[in-house]
Amino acid sequence: MDQKHISQIVHNISYHPYSRLEEFVSYSTKEQLDILKELTIGVKKNIVNKLDDETLIKIIEFTDPNTGSDILKFLPQKAQDKLISKLDTDIKNTVSNLLKFDPNTAASLMDMNYVLANTEETKEDIIKKIKEHEVRTSRTLIV
């Protein structure tokens, strides 16, 4: 989806509050993330608070933990806890850690876009981990 198309969608969603949720959920998870990045905070919060758990989990598990934690911050604590409990273990741990940091501190700017490797793993094992991470998060790791 090109930027012009995203801009048109963002405009429609922003200025048509009664149909915004219906339009938003009609797009793929990747497209939903692209749209969320362009929306104002108020519209983002409105949409995130109306999405069902399954859709939110797909979005959070599809993106990087930083963005996932930013999305969760729009929800009340009880809803955050409920969703976090349903996430994949690795994502759950990372997102939970990120949510602990005060958004007004440098720690909240941490980038969790990395893959852990140990000395026993082969080059092929690490390459596989990197590719899995890139597919799951749509983010390229810099090695």
Same domain, 15 and 40: yes
The position carrying tokens 């949510």 is 99
Same domain, 106 and 141: no
Q: Across residues 114-127, what is the average pLDDT?
A: 80
Res. 89 pLDDT band, cuts 50 70 90:
confident
138: left (phi over 0), alpha (psi -120 to 50) or beta: left
Determine contact, residues 37/10, Cβ cutoff 8 Å: no
Count of domains observed in the chain: 2
Residue percentage of the chain with pLDDT more than 90 = 51
**pLDDT in the model for residue 135:** 75
Q: Taking 80 as the threshold, does the pLDDT of residue 102 lie above it?
A: no
Same domain, 53 and 99: yes
Cβ neighbors of 80 (< 8 A, separation 6 or more) are: 72, 73, 99
What angle do helix axes 89-99 and 65-72 make, rounded to 10 degrees? 60
Same domain, 101 and 62: yes
Same domain, 23 and 39: yes
Domain carrying residue 14: 3-110
User: Which CATH number goes with the domain that contains 38?
Assistant: 1.25.60
